[in-house]
Amino acid sequence: MAEIELKTAPADFRFPTTNQTRHCFTRYIEYHKCLNAKGEDASECQKFARYYRSLCPMEWVEKWNEQRENGTFPGPL
């Protein structure tokens, strides 16, 4: 059977605390900023996508995606 490689988001010195909320939010923002800058489906952006998907609860991600669609997302995209 092939080895399954398990990885998660690397420890980021910008967020040394136990509460990683801001880390999750920052990765989400970085992913979308990357998409806006490099265009959809850029492969460089997938790194950020994997990070935020490891860190963030899916409820938050769904809520933020909905806010982005409505135009009410408060973050700096």
Partner 1 sequence: MRPKRAPFFTTLGGGGEGGLHTTGAKWFMIESQRHSYHLVDPSPWPISGSLGALATTVGGVMYMHPFQGGATLLSLGLIFILYTMFVWWRDVLRESTLEGHHTKAVQLGPRYGSILFIVSEVMFLFAFFWASSHSSLAPTVEIGGIWPPKGIGVLDPREIPFLNTPILPSSGAAVTWAHHAILAGKEKRAVYALVATVSLALVSTGFQGMEYYQAPSTISDSIYGSTFFSATGFHGFHVIIGTLFLIICGIRQYLGHLTKEHHVGFEAAAWYWHFVDVVRLFPFVSIYWWGGI
The footprint of partner 1 (CB under 8 A) covers: 21-22, 25-26, 29, 73-76
Nearer to partner 1, 8 or 75 (CB): 75
Q: How near is the Cβ of 41 to partner 1 at its closest, in Å?
A: 26
Q: How near is the Cβ of 74 to partner 1 at its closest, in Å?
A: 3
> What is the chain's alpha carbon radius of gyration, rounded to the nearest angstrom?
14
Nearer to partner 1, 43 or 72 (CB): 72
Q: How near is the Cβ of 29 to partner 1 at its closest, in Å?
A: 8
Nearer to partner 1, 42 or 62 (CB): 62
- Listed in sequence order, the residues at least 6 apart from 14 whose beta carbon sits closer than 8 Å to its beta carbon are 23, 26
DSSP state letters, 29-61: HHHHHHHHHH-TT-GGGHHHHHHHHHHS-HHHH
Euclidean distance between CA atoms 65 and 68, whole angstroms: 5
